[in-house]
Structure 1
C-alpha cells in the first residue's frame, strides 16, 4: 500500500528521459550542498527491470536460497539488497531510520506528492516546480531556501 509522503519530509525529485542530464544534475547538487556542510541522501529510481546484484556472486546465492534481504558489507561500503521492489515512501522511511539527512534527492521521481524538477522534453508530471535549463545556481538557492532553511550554520 502506498502512503502519502508528509510535506515535512525534505524530499525533492528530478525526472527526465534517458541521457538528459539527471545524474549530472544530482551529482552537481550533492557536491554543492555537501561542500556547504549539508547531509544529503540520494535515490535512483528506474523503470528498467535491472538489479545491482551479480549472478553467481555470494549475495546472489543468498537470494537464490531464499533470503529476502541480503546485506553486503566490506571495509569500504555496505549495501542492502531487498529482493522485492519498494515504493518511494517505504524507501524514505528506511533511509530516515538509518540516519538523519537534510535532504533526500530522488532521480527518476514519479511520486505525485513530491516537488520535482523536469529535465528536457518530457511530459510534465504533477508537482513539477520548474524545468531545468542549466541554471544550477538557481536550483541550489531554491533547495536551500525552500528545503534547507537558507544557509547552513553547521558547516565544519
Structure 2
C-alpha cells in the first residue's frame, strides 16, 4: 500500500491557514482522494468539554478515552505526541492519500508557507493567493 503524501502548512495567526486547508480538503475529496488532517497549536486547549462523560473519564485518570457515536469515533489521548507518533497512529486507523498538517513546525515535514512569515526548514511552496497553482502543486505531490 502506498504511503500518504504529508504536507504541512504554516503562517501567522489569522493568515488563512484553516480556510485554505478546508478549501483544499473539499477539492481533493471531490476528486476521490482520502484526506486526513492534523491541527497543531501551541495553545493549551482541549477538544473535550468540561462535564461531558468523556471529560469525566479523563479526569478520573483514563489515559485514552474513546467516544463512539452513531456518526463518528473520537480518540482522546491524554498526552502530547510527536507528529511522527500521530501519523503512525493515523495509519493504523486507515489509508489516506494525503495528510495535511496545519501548524507544522518540525524539520522533516515538507511545508507550504502562507504570508510573509519567516521561512521554515523544508518549505517546498509559498502560497501567493493563486489557489489553482497550489491545488496543482498538491495534486502533483500525490501522483
Q: Normalising by the residue count of structure 1, what TM-score does the alignment of the two structures yield? A: 0.87
Distance 2:23 2:72 in 1: 22
The alignment status of 1:30 with 2:25, answered yes or no, reads: yes
In 1, Cα distance between equivalents of 2:83 and 2:139:
22
Give structure 1 stretches of 5+ with no counterpart.
1-7, 150-156
What's the counterpart of residue 85 of structure 1? 80
1:129 Cα shift? 1.3
Equivalent of residue 56 in structure 1, options 51, 57, 82: 51
Give the distance between the partners of 2:132 and 2:11, measured in 1 at CA: 19
- 1:153 — aligned with what? none
Number of equivalenced pairs: 141
Normalising by structure 2, we get a TM-score of 0.94
1:131 to 114, 118, 126: 126
Does 1:94 pair with 2:109? Answer: no
Tell me the equivalent position of 1:47: 42
Contact 2:4 2:97 in 1 (8 A): no
Q: Report the equivalent of 1:3.
A: none
Q: Please give the alpha-carbon distance, in whole angstroms, between the structure 2 residues aligned to 1:45 and 1:91.
A: 11
Q: What's the CA shift for 1:121?
A: 2.2
2:10 to 8, 15, 19: 15
**C-alpha separation in 2, matches of 1:55 and 1:65:** 13
Moved over 3 A (4+): none
- State the distance in 2 between where 1:100 and 1:71 align: 20
Q: Which residue of 2 aligns with 1:65?
A: 60
